[in-house]
Chain A
Amino acid sequence: MNNNLIKGNKSVYFYILPALILIAIFTIYPIFNAFYMSFQAPNGDINISNYEYVLKSDMFWKGVKNTLLYAVVVTPISIAVSLVISYLLSLKIKFKNTFQTLYFLPYVTSTIAIGSVFAMMYHTNYGVFNAILEAVGMKPIGWLTNPKFSMLSVILFGIWKSLAFNILILFTALQGIDENLEKAALVDHASSLTIFLKVKVPQIYPVVTYLLVIDLIYNFKVYEEVVSLFKGSAGIDNSAMTMVYYIYQQFYTVQDYSLAAVGAVMLLIFVGLLTLLNKFVSKKLGGN
């Protein structure tokens, strides 16, 4: 039998049609339409006036700046912490499953719901974070009320939320490492730190770089973290404006779909560049 596939059977179109129609209507068409809308001026002309408007908008650039800051800070910190935790988890310890389950809880938790918990904990007057600061003799901070600290608050929340996924992936990768390598290293009297750095890290290096790109892309879309902390706003004085928040603001509040589309195209360009980076990196690593 060739290829182990069913051939010459037209009924296959009946099987794939529902998905194809749905994807055509709700994914493919909207992609092209977003591009089209982004060039549609308020008077109906097709030109780049929307791009000019958005690229001159301080609010948009504030969003870009905050988004970059968020992605560039959250991603490496989250991966570094996850690497340590998942390494410790991969050692011969008890309650492995319990720890794993606990660490993974933030991933399945509604960002909106747990964000409201963080908002409470960040509260300037009654929040537990300020209580801790005061207990160690520091001055309370306006986590959500002082624009200077808005992004810091979003970033801390973001790190807490993003660890779960990274730990899971890195832990799985560490579990998959050939045990014989570690045994060989032990025979050579390598210390456990040496084993971790010289044997294990190189093995999961492709996974780490993969995570780096995936996380960057994901963190570029930071939005729910912001609205849940700031009750639907982007913070005092829009201090926590992000790219996706900007898109939805144009769409939902301002109701200018064309400007929202421009924002979405800009987001696609950033994400596309990261995807290309991923391709480039994984090619360099030998295509795994």
Chain B
Amino acid sequence: MNVSIQNLKKCYGETEVISDLNLDIESGELVSLLGPSGCGKSTTLFMVSGLEEITAGKIMFGDTDVTNLTADKRDIGLVFQNYALYPHYTVLRNVMFPLLNQKVSKQEAEERAMEVIKAVKLEEHINKKPGELSGGQQQRVAIARAIVKKTKVLLLDEPLSNLDAELKVKTIMEIRDIQKQFNITTIFVTHDQQEALAVSDRIVVLDQGIIQDIGKPNDLYRKPANSYVANFIGSPNINLFDAEIKDGKIAGFESLISGKINIADGKYQIGIRPEAFHIDTNSEFTISPKTQEILGRDILVYSTVNDIDLRIIVRNINENNLETTNTFSVNLEDVMIFDIDSKARIDHE
């Protein structure tokens, strides 16, 4: 079931929180809505679910206009950050609940519930109450409940935020497996770019109710539409600074990049990811570390060059060697150039 959001708009009184949002999602695709809190991603999700009224626009599931259908008529499943399981029901009863409301016979409801419970590997726990399960298990029950009614569209609202780091990774993979197994079109709302990068077919970056960029994880990382997206995607954050470019060279950083940037002279916003720096004994670009963080075998170095604070990841190096090997270069294709006013990325290859 493909999902098409057309000219979607949402106002709370005078305040416009979503303005003219357009998004097409392919059948079976997993799309993340990524953005900081208050960017409108959850509001968008709830409008797709039918729980939040829309001010203007249209939502299509396949050929069906669902704009005016209530949530229970849309064949959607919704999973929340706090799981929202019914605490007085057993796992089995929780998963059966949507079916029983649809007047499915008890026997059929139980069979279908068992099917999805097996898919989330919780068949040993069917008679437990949610309170007796771990956070990860509870979230799997929530997913089972969300997909049990042959759901066409699965909506996930920050489903991993209450889980600790280790469980997050595990649960992400499980969500992905189930989503593929049942081939459910999925919208995944998160503020955590690492979750989005790990799980999505495509990512939609939202800010202040406006789509900043849409693309595959790798494309967003390599070719973000603007410096906002460049800054939002990637950890640690990209180095962003304003600088003059003259004759294809960045003023103050001439020795950092061999080769010339193919762009007209002028003032630009420059973006270089911390991980784009590499040790280059031939380079004359030296840094003197102010502080450093050990990231396993890599080191994150903080340094100031020409009054600009830089974050640089130095790979495979012992921290004691940093004093001697301290010359770096960046490949030409790893330098991002943004328009100084619109912040849009400019291709320079």
Contacts and interface: CB of A to CB of B under 8 A. Distances in A.
A8 B51 CA distance: 13
Contacts of B51: 1
A288 interface: no
A11 interface: no
A234 B52 CA distance: 64
Contacts, number: 6
Interface residues of B, number: 6
A5 to B, nearest CB: 13
A2 interface: yes
A2 B46 contact: no
Contacts of A1: 42, 46, 51-52
A2 B42 CA distance: 11
Nearest to A2: B12
Nearest to B12: A2
Nearest to B52: A1
Interface in B19-64: 42, 46, 51-53
A210 B305 CA distance: 64
A2 B13 CA distance: 12
A8 B52 CA distance: 12
A40 B173 CA distance: 79
Interface in A1-46: 1-2, 8
Nearest to B46: A1
A8 B46 CA distance: 17
Contacts of B12: 2
A2 B47 CA distance: 13
Nearest to B17: A2
Contacts of A2: 12
Nearest to A8: B53
A2 B40 CA distance: 12
B120 to A, nearest CB: 26
B41 to A, nearest CB: 13
B221 to A, nearest CB: 32
A28 to B, nearest CB: 33
A8 B12 CA distance: 14
Interface string B170-203: 0000000000000000000000000000000000
A126 B310 CA distance: 96
A51 B228 CA distance: 76
Nearest to B157: A1
B46 to A, nearest CB: 6
B116 to A, nearest CB: 26
Nearest to A7: B53
Interface string A243-264: 0000000000000000000000
A88 to B, nearest CB: 36
Contacts of A8: 53
Interface in B125-161: none
A138 B12 CA distance: 80
A1 B51 CA distance: 9
Interface string A172-185: 00000000000000
A128 B122 CA distance: 68
A221 B12 CA distance: 50
A2 B52 CA distance: 10
Interface string A34-76: 0000000000000000000000000000000000000000000
A2 to B, nearest CB: 6
Ranked 5 nearest A-B pairs via Cβ: A2-B12, A1-B46, A1-B52, A1-B51, A1-B42
6 contacts: A1-B42, A1-B46, A1-B51, A1-B52, A2-B12, A8-B53
